[in-house]
């Protein structure tokens, strides 16, 4: 909690929302957003065929078919994006009034900027709305947007679909490791589901900035809706590949915790977002986490003489705190746990 309050205090330093900078029609980005020349997003490569697009409906059991149908429903996607955009279209004052940044159960929640940890970090060209979706004990609906009035029911419904989908995916992923299909279900107890809506306004000098800095997600599994505008990139070796949005599809990311539990059999992908000069971009991101008191460690079943244990164990909550405290993230948070 102390760490959270400290973070909260730091965030109280006045930093303009990127949307405000955009409204001022700046011709140049402020200095604090400009990356050192060796870190700028050089033109990325279109992703090769090897980035898998999985049609869940074509796989597995009936439940998957059902979930996939619901969550891949085009109309429902449009609705999620519409209610989200309507919130971001409110005035700055109104957004801040409805969803002020506040310390939630485990993370800061509200409408604001969340990665500006230290004074030396180069800032990201993104604003965000963050809050818990589930379980009921941590979701504070009184702090969710009130405009549009359909926001709450839309995200409650989407949250249910994401929980069904991630439950199914985790079952498949545990089988892929040769573990009991209920391995993750048992481990995580009641899952915590967080939402972050990223809003990237157009930027006068997109080649100089990060939309969202390189990172891997510090959770178990991430489900992302991309808004038809290129921006998401994944790193493979020294190269960055653009993941172009596929209409009606979700992007599923493996998070650091899954890398640790699988003892490195699954890898959390390093990714970032870039911005452009003429279009805003929005992404709707759901992060699935275990309960705070769950000990994250390589599954003992996956360790033997030929597969030595690779990572230290850490409490889920503690990982969240150290993750947020690392500024220049990349894969540093998970790499810090590698046993030497
Ligand atoms: C994230 C993320 C990418 C995007 O929110 O963790 O990686 O395209 N977002 O917004
Ligand atoms: Ni991410």
Per-residue pLDDT at 62: 47
Assess contact for 47 and 244: CB atoms under 8 A: yes
Question: Peptide bond preceding 283: is omega within 30 degrees of 0, i.e. cis?
Answer: no
For residue 24, give every residue at least 6 positions away whose Cβ sits within 8 Å of its Cβ, in sequence order, or none.
none
Per-residue pLDDT at 222: 95
Residue nearest to atom 8 of ligand 1 (CA): 232
Per-residue pLDDT at 54: 55
CA of 283, closest atom in ligand 1 = 10
Distance of CA 308 from the midpoint of ligand 1 (Å)? 32
Nearest CA among 288, 171, 142 for reference residue 220 = 288
Ligand 1 pocket, residue 275 CB under 6 Å: no
* Positive or negative: CA dihedral 318, 114, 148, 224: negative
Task: Give the number of the ligand closest to the Cα of residue 130.
Answer: 1
102-133 CB burial, b ≥16 within 10 A, e <16: eebebbbbbbbbbbbbeeeebbbbbbbbbbbb
Per-residue pLDDT at 329: 76
How far apart CA 10 and CA 5 sit, in angstroms, is 9
Torsion (CA) 83, 85, 86, 91 in degrees, nearest 10: 150
Per-residue pLDDT at 63: 44
**DSSP β-ladder status, 239-242 and 45-46:** parallel
Q: What is the mean pLDDT of each run of 10 residues along the chain (340 residues)?
A: 74 80 93 92 67 52 49 77 97 95 85 75 93 94 96 96 92 93 93 97 96 94 90 89 83 94 94 95 96 96 96 95 80 92
Ligand 1 pocket, residue 198 CB under 6 Å: yes
**DSSP β-ladder status, 232-236 and 239-242:** antiparallel
Assess contact for 222 and 269: CB atoms under 8 A: no
Ligand 1 pocket, residue 317 CB under 6 Å: no
Which two structure tokens, joined as six digits, stand for 338? 């590698």
Ligand 1 pocket, residue 217 CB under 6 Å: yes
Distance of CA 284 from the midpoint of ligand 2 (Å)? 11
How far apart CA 228 and CA 189 sit, in angstroms, is 35
Per-residue pLDDT at 64: 47
Residue nearest to atom 6 of ligand 1 (CA): 217
How far apart CA 70 and CA 15 sit, in angstroms, is 39
How far apart CA 224 and CA 203 sit, in angstroms, is 22
Assess contact for 224 and 186: CB atoms under 8 A: no
Ligand 1 pocket, residue 250 CB under 6 Å: no
Per-residue pLDDT at 285: 97
């Amino acid at each position: 909690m102390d760490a959270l309050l400290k973070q909260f205090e730091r965030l109280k330093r006045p930093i303009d929302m990127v949307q405000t900078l955009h409204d001022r029609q700046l011709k140049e980005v402020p200095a604090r957003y400009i990356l050192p020349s060796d870190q700028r997003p050089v033109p990325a490569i279109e992703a090769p065929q090897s980035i898998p697009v999985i049609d869940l409906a074509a796989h597995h059991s009936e439940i998957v078919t059902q979930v996939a149908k619901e969550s891949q429903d085009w109309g429902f996607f449009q609705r999620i994006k519409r209610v989200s955009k309507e919130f971001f279209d409110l005035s700055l004052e109104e957004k801040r009034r409805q969803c002020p940044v506040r310390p939630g159960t485990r993370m800061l929640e509200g409408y604001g900027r969340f990665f500006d940890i230290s004074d030396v970090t180069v800032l990201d060209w993104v604003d965000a709305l963050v809050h818990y979706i589930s379980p009921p004990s941590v979701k504070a609906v009184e702090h969710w947007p009130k405009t549009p009035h359909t926001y709450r029911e839309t995200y409650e419904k989407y949250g249910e679909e994401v929980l069904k989908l991630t439950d199914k995916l985790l079952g498949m992923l545990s089988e892929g490791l040769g573990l009991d299909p209920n391995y993750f279900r048992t481990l995580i107890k009641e899952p915590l589901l967080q939402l972050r809506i990223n809003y990237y306004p157009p930027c006068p000098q997109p080649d100089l900035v990060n939309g969202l800095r390189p990172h891997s997600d510090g959770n178990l599994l991430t489900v992302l809706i991309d808004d038809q505008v290129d921006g998401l990139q994944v790193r493979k070796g020294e190269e960055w590949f653009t993941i172009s949005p596929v209409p009606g599809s979700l992007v599923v990311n493996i998070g650091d915790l899954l890398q640790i539990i699988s003892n490195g059999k699954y890898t959390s992908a390093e990714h970032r977002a870039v911005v452009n000069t003429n279009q805003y971009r929005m992404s709707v991101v759901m992060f699935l986490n275990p309960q705070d008191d769950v000990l994250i460690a390589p599954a003992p079943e996956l360790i033997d003489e030929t597969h030595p244990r690779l990572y230290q164990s850490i409490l889920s909550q503690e990982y969240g705190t150290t993750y947020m405290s690392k500024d220049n993230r990349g894969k540093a948070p998970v790499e810090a746990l590698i046993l030497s």
